[in-house]
Amino acid sequence: MPKRITSIEVAQHAGVSQSTVSRVFSEDSPNVAEKTRNRVLKAAHELGYRPNVIARMMSRRETNIIGIVMANMTSPFYPYVLDKFLQRFQALDKQVLLFTVAQGQLVDDILPLVLQYQVDALIITSATLSSDMADECARTGTPVILFNRTVSDSHVSAVCADNVKGGRMIAEYLIKTGHQHIVYMAGPANTSTNNDREQGFKTYLREQGIRDWMRVQADYTYESGYAVATELMQSDTTPDAIFCANDIMAVGAIDAIRAQGLQVPDDISVIGFDDIPMASWGAYNLTTVSQDVKMMIDKTITILQQKLDQPDSQPAVELVEGQLIIRGSVKSR
């Protein structure tokens, strides 16, 4: 491999000092004589020199890099969210460093490594952060914002869909459309999104005096949605509606129901949560709760900027209400 050209070599080639080279490539554009600037740029071009942006940022004690920690990348919702974040940060002239949490790995396990990169701030989404690690991030002075997750009794900010209210909306809609034998297909038990959606769902049913509903455990994946729905279809009791805690499980459930020779929604209604792009496909036409991702990202960036400008500001928690999107996967009974 060719060796990396340094600013010292550019300075020697141009016949100027290293500090002059640094000033020429500084974002602050300090005064450098035009003739000298052109000589430095010519030397840099001839040698193939590229300034070390990271080193320059570190010298200012900021990197202009936002770290994003993300798990569950197999769910279409989070790559969609990541794309929206990338677009917004690029518009703000900030770079993004993505860290992924492997299957079965805890975000706590990788955060010490993440913090070594000296990112200006950290956004954690689709991953569960312990209260202890959240507090550790706060002590290091790295602003942390949880996106679509919450952690009880922690000192980090969070922006999340109002999952409790979303669960209530779904329960209300299924009862309103005459469903009596409802199954809740749960996501991982250690996620706040699942817990809050289930809480809102079952609380509304109890308020209506309805206790005849069933809970099955899945894992926020297409495969688990398909497998669990298949087991339900082959059991003695067939539900008339399934509320899946996210859309990708609902898509798996719909395919499983059809594989058993049944129809959605004529035989069984299916409803999801998230409104991923696939939900609107004609093959699924999925009724779901849409999360206002744009507003959630707007609020995340507002909190992030506030924490960067005022590091001692108090943590903020924002809940963003979703919208019930009625399509063709639920039928009135």
* Greatest alpha-carbon span in the chain: 86
What is residue 62's predicted lDDT score, i.e. its pLDDT? 64
> What are the residue ranges of CATH 1.10.260.40 in the chain?
7-51
Give the CATH number of domain 7-51.
Answer: 1.10.260.40
- The dihedral region occupied by 205, where left means phi > 0, alpha psi between -120 and 50, and beta the remainder, is alpha
What is residue 196's predicted lDDT score, i.e. its pLDDT? 95
Order the strands of the 95-100 sheet from edge to edge: 95-100, 65-70, 121-125, 144-147, 157-161, 317-320
Q: What is the mean pLDDT of each run of 10 residues along the chain (333 residues)?
A: 78 88 73 87 87 62 81 82 92 89 77 81 80 72 86 79 97 96 93 93 95 92 96 90 97 97 97 96 97 95 91 89 97 91
* Fold topology of 65-161+293-321: Rossmann fold (3.40.50)
What is residue 53's predicted lDDT score, i.e. its pLDDT? 63
Question: Quick one: which of 247, 316, 268 has its CA closest to 75?
Answer: 247
Bridge partners of residue 87, in order along the sequence = none
- The DSSP secondary-structure symbol of 221 reads S
Bridge partners of residue 182, in order along the sequence = 213, 241
Bridge partners of residue 122, in order along the sequence = 67, 144
What is residue 164's predicted lDDT score, i.e. its pLDDT? 97
Beta strand 323-325 with 288-290: parallel, antiparallel or unpaired?
A: antiparallel
- Given the candidates 3.50.50.60, 3.40.50.300, 3.40.47.10, 3.40.50.2300, the CATH classification of the domain at 163-291 is 3.40.50.2300
What is residue 330's predicted lDDT score, i.e. its pLDDT? 97
* Separate counts of helices (H) and strands (E) for the chain: 12, 12
Name residues whose C-beta falls within 8 Å of residue 266's C-beta, 6 or more positions apart in sequence: 331
Count CA atoms closer than 13 A to 330's CA, side-chain side.
Answer: 27
> What are the residue ranges of CATH 3.40.50.2300 in the chain?
65-161+293-321, 163-291
Name residues whose C-beta falls within 8 Å of residue 121's C-beta, 6 or more positions apart in sequence: 66, 67, 142, 143, 144, 145, 304, 307, 308
* Rounded (10°) CA dihedral 218, 220, 225, 226: -120
Q: Using alpha carbons only, what angle is made at residue 147 by residues 249 and 57, rounded to the nearest 5 degrees? A: 130
Q: How many CB atoms lie within 10 A of CB 15?
A: 11
What is residue 136's predicted lDDT score, i.e. its pLDDT? 72
Phi, psi of 17 (to 5 degrees): -80, 160
